[in-house]
Amino acid sequence: MHTLLYDVALAQTSSTHQAFPTMPPMLEEIDSQPSALGLISLRRRRLPAFGDRDIYEVKLGEEFLMSSLFVEAEEALATLGLAALQGDKLSVVVGGLGLGYTAVAALKDQRIEELFVVDALDTVINWHKNEQVPLGKILNADARNHYVHGSFFELATNPGVGFTPEGKNKTVDAILLDIDHSPTEFLNSGNASFYSTKNLSLMAEQLKPKGVFAMWSQNLPEKSFEELLKTVFEHVESHVIYFYNPFQNCESSNSVYVCVKGDA
């Protein structure tokens, strides 16, 4: 969720717009629906500096959750997480659908046999099913992809329910999470309890031996969270993802934590 980065980026557009007086910015609200978390909206924007490129963005109330302008780290969540896995016929869970970039990047790995994309908001799932967002068509066309309407955090901490239709005792090879802004900045305050040894361990019960948990964060790696992850996982590695920020003409960064479960 590129909240802070995207707010800064849009703040830069006023000076950019002045340089292109004959090309005013275009902003279209594609859909807006109430949700348990507040009003959620899907918008399409064009900025003069990007010509005919459509930029899709998701807002929750007045907060930006996701933009198609910055997606490198969301894609890296999938590629780095899956790179830590061995074997084939993989079963993978993605927590948080967003605009679909993590899910589509994961499906590029031909070892995946089934992908379960969990989102608490049926509105977001319907944007993809109805192909109101660009990657919906790709996800709908891939028979390996399955949308799951539910709370990732509730499913993660209830192994007796599980992420998949098979439910109890069904384990998966990888869980890729991109919902909160960081391990200490939450989309919803109720998510905070997930980041504990107890609840991470409950989630890890749903991973196969040597299974992978990977998580995106908008911040640089946090040492305290790395230490927490080590109480549950055998191997923990943090990756910093750099990408070009055209508004500031410099590199920006996010991070991806990749954790591997032990043999048992």
| Nearest one of 65, 72, 71, 68 to 39, comparing CA atoms | 65
Of 21, 40, 67, which marks where a domain is finished? 67
Per-residue model confidence (pLDDT) at position 7:
54
Per-residue model confidence (pLDDT) at position 168:
64
169-225 pLDDT per residue, tens:
689 999 999 999 999 999 989 999 999 999 999 999 999 999 999 999 999 999 999
Of 67, 88, 103, which marks where a domain is finished? 67
Of 19, 40, 67, which marks where a domain is finished? 67
Could you tell me if 94 and 30 lie in one domain? no
Reported as a pLDDT band with limits 50, 70 and 90, residue 9 is low
Could you tell me if 166 and 211 lie in one domain? yes
| Nearest one of 243, 187, 256, 186 to 215, comparing CA atoms | 256
* Three-class secondary structure assignment of 42-97: EEEEECHHHCCCCEEEEEECCEEEEECCCCHHHHHHHHHHHHCCCCCCEEEEEECC
How many structural domains does the chain have? Answer: 2
Could you tell me if 142 and 62 lie in one domain? no
Per-residue model confidence (pLDDT) at position 166:
73
Residue 46 above 60 pLDDT? yes
Cβ contact 100:125 at 8 Å: no
CA–CA distance from 80 to each of 76, 172, 179 (Å)? 6, 17, 17
Domain ranges, residue 26: 3-67
What's 95's domain CATH number? 3.40.50.150
Per-residue model confidence (pLDDT) at position 72:
96
| pTM exceeding 0.85 | yes
Tokens standing for residue 131: 């192909």
